[in-house]
Amino acid sequence: MITSLDSPFEIGALAGDPASLPPAFRAQFLGSPEDGLETHLVGTMDRVWHRHRWLWPVLWTLAKFDTLFPETGRAIPATMTVRNYRDAAGRPTQTWERTFAFGDRVRHFDARITLDPAHGRVIEHTGPGGRLAVPWRMALVNQRLQIDALSVSLRLGRWLVRLPDFCCVRVRAIETADPLRSDQIHIDLSLTHPWLGPIFGYEGTFRAARRPVPA
């Protein structure tokens, strides 16, 4: 049972001296379940895009499970709320609740983040019931954090089955801290299929702030 860590991200690329990290990274990744705060990132997506029109029905279906969506556009208001808690075993866990406002339609792209201490990495859980498990590889260089999805596995009851590469997409997210504004970061995310190339992505700028958890 792991109880000594406050955040799934205290192992790996963000481990070490928190004071040396950009403040916006600390706010997003290193919150504690016990501090009574959650993190809000508020900003605008400069661009939300996807390609291959015939994928629209797939994206429309995934939107039903708050995983990707078919809309595109520019200057899209967006937010992300990061909440910290512990699971039944005492392990630090986060939820990431992303929203994208396409006029009157609001889309969600949500995830749960857990810790894999055996491999020193975090796992993102998405899809129907959070059954898709995606381990991350993270690299931090100065003001830039790169996150790569290594594989995709499907949880079937007690079993975790790794999906073949042709069924999966590769995800890369790059977060860049603004050296002139300590609370601001730029996010660039893209999904690439091994056969189809880049198929979905977004990029935008956000300001991060920690606020008390609503009563």
CA distances from 99 to 128, 179, 200, 215 (A): 17, 26, 16, 22
Closest CA to 72 of 44, 47, 41: 47
Whether residue 211 contacts residue 42, with contact meaning beta carbons closer than 8 Å, is answered with no
Task: Give pLDDT tens digits along the chain (215 positions).
Answer: 444 789 999 888 888 778 889 999 999 999 999 999 999 999 999 999 999 999 999 999 999 999 999 999 999 999 999 999 999 888 899 999 999 999 999 999 999 999 988 788 899 999 888 899 999 999 998 889 999 998 899 988 888 898 888 888 899 999 999 999 999 999 999 999 999 999 999 999 999 999 999 87
User: Using CA atoms, how far apart are residues 32 and 38, in angstroms rounded to an integer?
Assistant: 9
Read off the tokens for 40: 């809000």
Contacts of 30 (CB under 8 A, 6+ apart): 6, 7, 9, 10, 14, 18, 21
Whose tokens are 């660039």? That residue is 188
Contacts of 150 (CB under 8 A, 6+ apart): 134, 135, 136, 137
State the sign of the Cα–Cα–Cα–Cα dihedral 67, 149, 74, 28: positive
pTM over 0.75: yes
CA distances from 65 to 93, 132, 161, 171 (A): 20, 12, 20, 18
Identify the three-state secondary structure at position 52: coil
